[in-house]
A and B are shown apart, each in its own frame.
Chain A
């Protein structure tokens, strides 16, 4: 067991901070258990990445932001990210603003901070909180279960279809503050919803973020999740996203890993019901000295369940990316189809990339496929574009965006597509 990672927080102080908010005893008990497990459990084992060297353990303390009743009261750094009428903003350790339109409230949709939800809707939260991702999986999940604060709870009642995306912005700008949002989404039978989250930071000292997103997709429901991470260089982002999908349910992931610091992300769909379906699209741009370890997973349990995973990563300067795709087909999941593609494009001789497609299949009557490639920009292509008068930098830009296009062009929401495009441009040093 690794002892280098020490908690920079005082357990009693943390628990007191939450008790002061009248947190229900069952939640505080989960936190106490998290502290205990954090002492016992090892860090997660990652393929070809030594997270022991990331010196994890700088979390800060619980610091609450001022509450705001109107969007107008939020500062410019927050407002530039807001793209939806239904929006929740977490700043540092707590939620400073949350708004849900009357129309959606009347339909029974709940969108509030998770700390509030455990008090107000325990019957809707308790069966799900830390159930898709469990506290005892490893030290990261244990620490998260002890320290999470703020967060978002999104509940969509049976057969309610919401067309407009709901957005959560998670923003860290206080170096002393603990920043560990937890997102919990429950979509009841035959409902549909789109949730967009953004994570950003402005801090100049080392900071570690352990985040969890849990999504429960009930029978026939459809959930679209877009997660766009743009945390700064000083922040290490460790994130688990996991969806449990019941029969004929669908989960759609769009993930933009645009952080500037080291990051681990593990995005998984557990296809429990027959005919459950998952589609995951991940794009990533790495720069500087970044180390990235990105995993997408599809676990097929239900019969005739389907999954497709596409990851495209561009690495420049000295960045390193380990890209893993794991398709697991359990015994009995006959008639399933799991496909995956991972591609890494390296823009400098020092950039490194590794694509690991992994198929684990315990059933005969299935289809599964994978494709993976790691390579550099093709000089023949550069020559071809330049011969038409296009300058080298622009030629490279065209090729890089061409490489990301199969993911970006599939994003149905224009604003989100533009946002991802501009984040990618910034990271590619072209904006």
Chain B
């Protein structure tokens, strides 16, 4: 079956503030979509809302994965349905080794009675770690504990490669990566490209898109997609920034849900008296 993630007029809030204001997007198997935009425009909220983070509340709209209502599913059901989010800030979990965690995840996907054999699992994990040029010792390290930023990102891509999701969302996977790591991460993504897998790459730099060529580029502002195009759009953003988009669309403030910055006195100083 051909994979389709369909997002229709999605509205969502975090801590009572509406961030996503009617976002629509369709990702099909074989396609790579890049969602770009300045900080504070709701990109990461889109990722977390799709995955079902408990802090994000859906206010309206619909999301389906292969026709099934994603928003009705619990977080783990979304994962088993084939959605994968490579997180910007993955949790560290002491006492749980990377391999125990990965095996639990794979077995959750495969279901009871169909668990992966230990040998097969180890071979699979080792070969994927090899592709990502990860030190084999990371298998037995506690999950993300003491990993550098780059190591965490690689570990996210490792999980993606192990779980072979239908739809992968990469949330700022390129931030904090040096060029070598970026190349390796891109290699991992490209190795999974196939006709039945779709990708949604969230980023505000063009960098990653030099290695993973998107089919579609969307610009996000004010909690919705304001402009879409092909890979050339990303190149223009890299060269000229976002100002021209704002001008073209008559947008003054592209951000969403942010408070006006209040003036705060530095500690231990007295503010001027205004009479």
**Residues of A in contact with B (beta carbons under 8 Å apart):** 378-381, 383-392, 394-395, 398-399, 401-406
Question: Does chain A have a CB within 8 A of B78?
Answer: yes
Q: Hey, which bits of chain B sit against chain A, CB under 8 A?
A: 51-54, 74-76, 78-80, 84-85, 87, 90-91, 93-96, 100-101, 104-105, 108-109, 142, 159, 163
Give the Cβ gap from B164 to chain A, nearest Cβ, in Å. Answer: 12
Partner pick for A384 among B74, B80, B87, B100, CB 8 A cutoff: B87
Contacts of A378 in B (CB 8 A): 91
CB atoms of A398 and B96 under 8 A apart: yes
Across the A-B interface, give the 8 residue pairs with the lowest CB-CB distance, nearest first.
Answer: A402-B95, A405-B95, A389-B79, A388-B105, A402-B96, A386-B75, A384-B91, A386-B76
A342 to chain B, nearest CB (A): 15
Residues of A within 8 Å of B75, CB to CB, are 383, 386-387
Chain B residues with Cβ under 8 A from A402's Cβ? 93-96, 142
Bound state CA distance, A403 and B96, in angstroms?
Answer: 8
Q: Please name all residues of chain A whose beta carbon is closer than 8 Å to the beta carbon of B163 when the two chains form the complex.
A: 388-389
Shortest CB–CB separation between residue B58 and chain A, in angstroms? 16
Are B95 and A385 neighbours in the complex by a CB distance under 8 Å? no
- Residue of A384, A389, A404 with highest tally of chain B CB at under 10 A: A389
Partner among A391, A398, A404 whose Cβ is within 8 Å of the Cβ of B93: A398
Instruction: Please give me the residue from chain B that is nearest to A392 by CB atom.
Output: B76
How far does the Cβ of B70 sit from chain A's closest Cβ, in whole Å? 13
Residues of A within 8 A of B109 (CB): 389
Q: How far is the CA of A404 from the CA of B94 in the complex (A)?
A: 10
Do A398 and B54 contact each other (CB < 8 Å), given the known contacts A386-B74, A392-B74? Answer: no
User: Given the known A-B contacts A394-B108, A398-B104, are A403 and B79 also in contact in the complex, defined by CB atoms under 8 Å?
Assistant: no
Tell whether, in the assembled complex, residue A389 and residue B95 are in contact, meaning their CB atoms are under 8 Å apart. no
Q: How far is the CA of A380 from the CA of B96 in the complex (A)?
A: 15
Q: Can you give 17 A-B contacts (C-beta < 8 A)?
A: A380-B91, A381-B91, A383-B53, A383-B54, A384-B87, A385-B93, A385-B104, A386-B79, A390-B108, A394-B104, A399-B93, A399-B95, A401-B95, A402-B93, A405-B95, A405-B96, A406-B94
Identify the closest chain B residue to A403 (Cβ): B95
Name which residue of chain A comes closest to B144, CB basis. Answer: A384
A380 — which chain B residues lie within 8 A by C-beta? Answer: 91
Contact A391 B76 (CB under 8 A): yes
CB < 8 Å neighbour of B76 from A379, A390, A406: A390
Instruction: State the Cβ distance, A421 to closest chain B Cβ, in Å.
Output: 13
Output the least CB separation between B145 and chain A (Å).
10
Question: How many angstroms between the C-alpha atoms of A401 and B87 in the bound complex?
Answer: 24
Q: Is the CB of B91 within 8 A of A388?
A: no
From B162, which residue of chain A is reached at the shortest CB distance?
A388
Q: How far is the CA of A129 from the CA of B53 in the complex (A)?
A: 60
A379 adjacent to B54 (CB under 8 Å) = yes
Docked complex Cα distance between A233 and B232 (Å)? 70
Contact between B93 and A381, CB atoms less than 8 A apart: yes
Quick one: given A392-B74, A394-B108, A398-B104, are A387 and B94 in contact (CB under 8 Å)?
no
- Measured CB to CB, the closest approach of chain B to A389, in angstroms, equals 3
- Known pairs A384-B87, A398-B101; A391 contacts B108 (CB<8 A): yes
**Complex contacts, B54 vs chain A, CB 8 Å:** 379, 383
Contact status A389-B142, CB under 8 Å: no
Kindly report which residue of chain A lies nearest to residue B96, judged by CB atoms: A402
Q: Which A-chain residue is minimally distant from B53 (CB atoms)?
A: A383
Q: Is the CB of A389 within 8 A of B93?
A: no
Chain A residues contacting B85 (CB-CB under 8 Å) are 387
B105 touching A389 by the CB < 8 A rule?
yes
Residue of A nearest to B79 (CB): A389
- Give CA–CA (A378, B92) in the complex, Å: 10
> Which residues from chain A contact B108 at a C-beta distance below 8 Å?
388-391, 394
Q: Decide yes or no: A388 and B79 within 8 Å by CB, A398-B101, A402-B142 being known contacts.
A: yes
B94 touches A403 (CB 8 A): yes
Residue contact A387 to B51, C-beta cutoff 8 Å = yes
The complex places the Cα of A386 from the Cα of B100 at a distance, in Å, of: 14
Inter-chain contacts of A384 with B (CB < 8 A): 87, 90-91, 93
**Docked pose: A384 CA to B85 CA in angstroms:** 9
**Which chain A residue lies CB-closest to B76?**
A386
Contacting pair A389 B101 (CB below 8 A): no
CB distance from A210 to the nearest CB of B (A): 34
Alpha-carbon gap, A405 to B100, bound state (A): 12
Query: Does the CB pair A390–B105 fall under 8 Å?
Result: yes
Distance, CA A384 to CA B104, complexed state (A): 13
Nearest to A407 among chain B residues (CB) is: B95
The smallest C-beta distance from A4 to any residue of chain B, in angstroms, reads: 42
**Given A387-B76, A389-B79, A391-B108, 12 new contacts (CB under 8 A):** A379-B54, A387-B51, A388-B79, A388-B159, A389-B105, A390-B76, A392-B76, A395-B76, A398-B93, A398-B101, A399-B93, A403-B95
Contact A399 B79 (CB under 8 A): no
Set of chain B residues within 8 Å of A383, measured between Cβ atoms = 53-54, 75, 91
Q: In angstroms, how far is the closest chain B Cβ from the Cβ of A401?
A: 7
B residues within 8 A CB of A401?
95-96
Closest A residue to B108 using CB positions: A389
**Chain A residues, Cβ within 8 Å of B84:** 387-388
Once the chains are docked, how many angstroms separate the CA of A247 from the CA of B78?
A: 60
Docked CA distance A403–B95 (Å): 6
| A250 to B91 alpha-carbon distance, docked (Å) | 38
- CB neighbours (8 Å) of B91 from chain A are 378, 380-381, 383-384
> B94 → chain A, closest Cβ, in Å?
6
CA distance A388 to B51 in the complex (A): 10
Give the distance in Å from the alpha carbon of A395 to the alpha carbon of B52 in the complex. Answer: 16
Q: How far is A141 from B123 in the complex, measured between Cα atoms in Å?
A: 57
Q: Shortest distance in angstroms between B110's beta carbon and chain A's nearest beta carbon?
A: 10
Which B residues are in CB contact (< 8 Å) with A390?
76, 79, 104-105, 108
Contacts of B51 in A (CB 8 A): 387
Closest B residue by C-beta to A312: B95
**Assembled-state Cα–Cα distance A260/B101 (Å):** 30
